[in-house]
């Protein structure tokens, strides 16, 4: 069987071919479009139309089959009815073709058994022969820089694109890539270097193309239009590779809602996956997620043009108070830092503005956007020691545009621009679009662009700081697992695949170094009285039964039991409630547990995602966690930096843990340790572990650690 470990040579044959065969070449429809695009686009290699019913197409000699070609070709474009595609691909393999771009439809996207089978057969044939495939049901691939349009989109006319740039576009939807995204890029003066539509991804998928494009030194950022990820772990690996190389991935991911997810499955035959988990994965891997076509194009262009800031402090300047207010509100709403200016900058602005506008941050410079003082203001703002990047929102003459462009050239700090007048301007706006200054057109997208830069800087910093530590942390986690593996495995197997009760769950967690409450499982009131005396009052009582996993619903918990009289009453009550709730339940006993007071209660959990494996969850604790949805997620394993970000993402959590309304500050380092331990436990346990639910986890005051007050561990059944 051919070596398929590295798809890059085949992708190079698709994107940089010296010879192409067009199977199904005609002078009309898709075959005509693709052939005409190659001719009109300026393909400089050898072009071979293949069609047994034609002698010539567009003046080129036509060959009856691949076998009849005078030489093996680098790439073949296939545009024939679906039933004939497998035979054509087999002929390509026999003739030494390296790669095939299959435009033909009629495969898994049809949603029927016949289409599914055809696609499975196509995948098998590609793997058996080594002819790597883009598609089927795609619109092709384009190397804009070299004028190679192996694409069946409508004819490539002069000026269809703004020219080759530093952005590569990879889309699972060909109609989106070659339709609205290419049109938007042209209107915004943004050049793509490559445009790739991957279609049904029977063989090569979106991630394969991303990994190839990361090695092109001319590609500075990659825009992705994603309907569903075929291989989650592979995407994570490549996303981290992109982060390590400083080449941002900007993703428009469909399927946020039930309606969007349904459309994605129908169109591509791919599972969209859990949107919340994918959002967490994007954050963890430094992938920039956007919400619409405009934001995808503008944000990818921003990363291709400008440098990453050294910090997250934003300076803003415009010619009007309303515009300053709009961009300031958007930046503030996104949590961006818009700090006061230094006294030196304030004095410069005050001298120039003479009491008009606002000498502040944001700066309202009134009419000075069209005066000789404009470059002086920009220079003062961008050189301010409190500012790491500058956002300028205005419009005007070529002189204004050149002042912004020159400021960006002369500064190491990023300068972003928001155009505030008609996009039909033919003087200043084209200058800005063709420069290295990123251009936006609405306050919200302008602020989102700034936030993307700031968050990407943090992701890069986190990667550089944490990557060297991960190997050491993994070794420590593996050593801990090796020590406790047999005991934990026995516990997971002890219930025959059923959920471990609270007591056994806590035993498993404690073996892995996660602190739990002091407690005793009792089968009689006398045992409970002895346990309470040893633990010290007050105590909590909980009925332990595999048939009653959620004890609050069954009212089988009593808290703050303070003496033997209350203990006896509580004992009878919880057992009576248990029998009433589940008469046939097997009761293992009653857990007598220490009371933990003065803590902040949170939830920590693990689950397994079908695409990405174990996922860690953190959020507000208690019975309302599901209703409130105040949680954050990360793929396992996590680093301490990931844990800190998870805490910060839960609204209000940092303030609560920091000592809210006179409460003592909580032991955040102990919480971070538990989050990291649990995430590595998930990796070490592998397929043994399905879910973990610690709710609540009590975080005690600083220096006193944490305690798992309740827990459930679910083995893989």
The pLDDT, as a whole number, for residue 413 is 97
Alpha carbons 475 and 396: distance in angstroms, whole number: 59
Alpha carbons 400 and 378: distance in angstroms, whole number: 11
Element (H, E) at 250: strand 249-253
Residue-averaged pLDDT of the chain: 91
The pLDDT, as a whole number, for residue 532 is 97
pLDDT in tens, 131-157: 999 999 999 999 999 999 999 988 676
Task: Answer yes or no: is pLDDT of 271 > 70.
Answer: no
Q: Which residues contact 320 (CB under 8 A, 6 or more apart)?
A: 364, 366
Task: Answer yes or no: is pLDDT of 262 > 60.
Answer: no
CATH of domain 518-594: 3.30.1490.20
User: So what CATH class is 307-441?
Assistant: alpha beta
The pLDDT, as a whole number, for residue 266 is 30
Q: Which residues contact 600 (CB under 8 A, 6 or more apart)?
A: 656, 657, 663, 666, 698, 699
- Higher pLDDT: 156 or 176? It is 176
The closest alpha carbon to 170, from 109, 249, 281, belongs to 249
Alpha carbons 225 and 299: distance in angstroms, whole number: 13
CATH of domain 1-139: 3.40.50.720
Segment 615-622 long-range contacts (CB within 8 Å, at least 24 positions apart)? 615/277, 615/280, 616/646, 616/675, 616/678, 616/679, 616/682, 618/643, 618/646, 618/647, 618/650, 618/675, 619/650, 620/650, 620/653, 621/695, 621/696, 621/697, 622/695, 622/696
Q: Which residues contact 484 (CB under 8 A, 6 or more apart)?
A: 511, 512
Task: Report the predicted TM-score, pTM, of the whole model to 2 decimal places.
Answer: 0.91
Alpha carbons 218 and 48: distance in angstroms, whole number: 29
- Asked if residue 103 lies in contact with residue 30, where contact means CB atoms within 8 angstroms, the answer is yes
Task: Answer yes or no: is pLDDT of 265 > 50.
Answer: no
The pLDDT, as a whole number, for residue 260 is 47
Structure tokens that stand for 550 in this block: 């959620």
State in Å, rounded, how far the first CA of the chain is from the last one.
Answer: 36
- Asked if residue 271 lies in contact with residue 319, where contact means CB atoms within 8 angstroms, the answer is no
Q: Where are the chain's structural domains? A: 1-139, 161-305, 307-441, 466-515+597-717, 518-594
pLDDT in tens, 473-488: 556 666 666 777 788 8
Cα 182 to chain centroid distance, Å, stands at 23
Rounded to an integer, the average pLDDT of 26-51 is: 92
User: 161-305 and 518-594: same fold?
Assistant: no
Alpha carbons 351 and 237: distance in angstroms, whole number: 53
Q: Which residues contact 488 (CB under 8 A, 6 or more apart)?
A: 481, 508, 511, 512, 685, 688
The pLDDT, as a whole number, for residue 661 is 78
Topology annotation, domain 161-305: Rossmann fold (3.40.50)
pLDDT in tens, 542-577: 999 988 888 888 999 999 999 999 999 999 999 999
Element (H, E) at 348: helix 343-353
Topology annotation, domain 466-515+597-717: D-amino Acid Aminotransferase; Chain A, domain 1 (3.30.470)
């Amino acid at each position: 069987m051919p070596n398929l470990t590295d798809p890059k040579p085949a992708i190079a044959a698709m994107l940089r071919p010296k010879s192409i065969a067009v199977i199904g070449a005609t002078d009309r429809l898709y075959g005509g479009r693709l052939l005409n695009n190659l001719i009109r686009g300026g393909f400089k290699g050898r072009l071979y139309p293949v069609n047994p019913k034609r002698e010539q197409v567009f003046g080129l000699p036509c060959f009856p089959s691949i076998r009849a070609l005078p030489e093996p070709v680098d790439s073949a474009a296939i545009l024939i009815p679906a039933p004939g595609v497998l035979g054509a691909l087999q002929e390509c393999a026999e003739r030494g073709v390296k790669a095939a771009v299959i435009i033909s439809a009629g495969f898994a996207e049809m949603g029927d058994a016949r289409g599914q089978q055809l696609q499975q057969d196509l995948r098998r044939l590609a793997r058996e022969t080594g002819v790597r495939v883009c598609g089927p049901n795609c619109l092709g691939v384009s190397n804009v820089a070299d004028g190679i349009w192996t694409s069946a989109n409508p004819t490539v006319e002069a000026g269809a694109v703004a020219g080759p740039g530093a952005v590569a576009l990879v889309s699972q939807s060909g109609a989106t890539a070659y339709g609205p995204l290419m049109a938007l890029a042209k209107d915004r003066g943004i050049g793509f270097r490559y445009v790739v539509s991957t279609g049904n991804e029977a063989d090569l998928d979106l991630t394969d193309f991303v990994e190839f494009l990361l090695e092109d030194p001319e590609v500075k950022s990659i825009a992705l239009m994603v309907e569903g990820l075929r291989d989650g772990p592979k995407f994570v690996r490549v996303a981290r590779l992109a982060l390590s190389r400083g080449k941002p991935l900007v993703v428009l991911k469909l399927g946020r809602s039930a309606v969007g997810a349904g459309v994605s499955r129908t169109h591509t035959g791919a599972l969209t996956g859990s949107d919340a988990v994918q959002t967490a994965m994007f954050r963890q891997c430094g992938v920039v997620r956007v919400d619409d076509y405009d934001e995808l194009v503008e944000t990818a262009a921003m990363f291709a043009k400008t440098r990453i800031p050294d910090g997250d402090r934003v300076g803003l300047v415009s010619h009007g108070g309303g515009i300053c207010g709009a961009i300031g509100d958007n930046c503030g709403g996104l949590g961006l830092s818009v700090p006061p200016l230094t006294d030196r900058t304030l004095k410069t602005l005050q001298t120039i503005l003479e009491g008009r506008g606002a000498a502040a941050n944001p700066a309202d410079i009134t009419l000075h956007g069209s005066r000789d003082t404009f470059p002086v203001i920009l220079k003062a703002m961008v050189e301010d020691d409190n500012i790491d990047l500058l956002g300028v929102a205005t419009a005007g003459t070529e002189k204004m545009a050149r002042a912004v462009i020159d400021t960006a050239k002369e500064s190491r700090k990023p300068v972003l621009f928001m155009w505030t007048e008609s996009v039909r301007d033919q003087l200043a706006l084209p200058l800005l679009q063709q420069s290295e200054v990123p251009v936006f057109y609405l306050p919200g997208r302008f602020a989102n662009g700034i936030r993307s830069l700031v968050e990407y800087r943090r992701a890069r910093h986190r990667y550089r700081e944490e990557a060297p530590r991960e190997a050491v942390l993994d070794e420590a986690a593996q050593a801990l697992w090796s020590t406790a593996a047999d005991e934990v495995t026995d516990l997971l197997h002890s219930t025959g695949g059923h959920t471990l009760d609270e007591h056994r769950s806590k035993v498993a967690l404690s073996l892995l170094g996660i602190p739990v409450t002091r407690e005793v499982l009792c089968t009689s009131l006398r045992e409970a009285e002895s346990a309470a005396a040893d633990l010290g009052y007050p105590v909590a009582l909980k009925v332990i039964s595999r048939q009653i996993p959620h004890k609050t619903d069954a009212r089988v918990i009593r808290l703050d039991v303070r003496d033997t009289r209350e203990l006896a009453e509580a004992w009878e009550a919880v057992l009576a409630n248990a029998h009433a709730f589940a008469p046939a339940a097997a009761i293992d006993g009653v857990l007598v547990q220490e009371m933990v007071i003065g803590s902040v209660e949170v939830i920590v959990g693990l689950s397994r995602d079908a695409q990405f494996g174990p996922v860690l969850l953190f959020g507000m604790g208690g019975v309302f966690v599901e209703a409130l949805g105040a949680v954050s997620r990360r793929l396992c394993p996590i680093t301490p930096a990931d844990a800190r970000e998870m805490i910060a993402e839960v609204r209000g959590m940092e303030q609560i843990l920091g000592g809210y309304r006179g409460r003592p500050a909580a032991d955040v380092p102990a919480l971070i340790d538990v989050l990291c331990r649990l995430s590595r436990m998930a990796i070490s346990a592998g397929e043994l572990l399905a879910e973990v639910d610690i709710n609540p986890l009590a975080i005690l005051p600083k220096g006193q650690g944490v305690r798992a007050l309740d827990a459930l561990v679910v083995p893989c059944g």
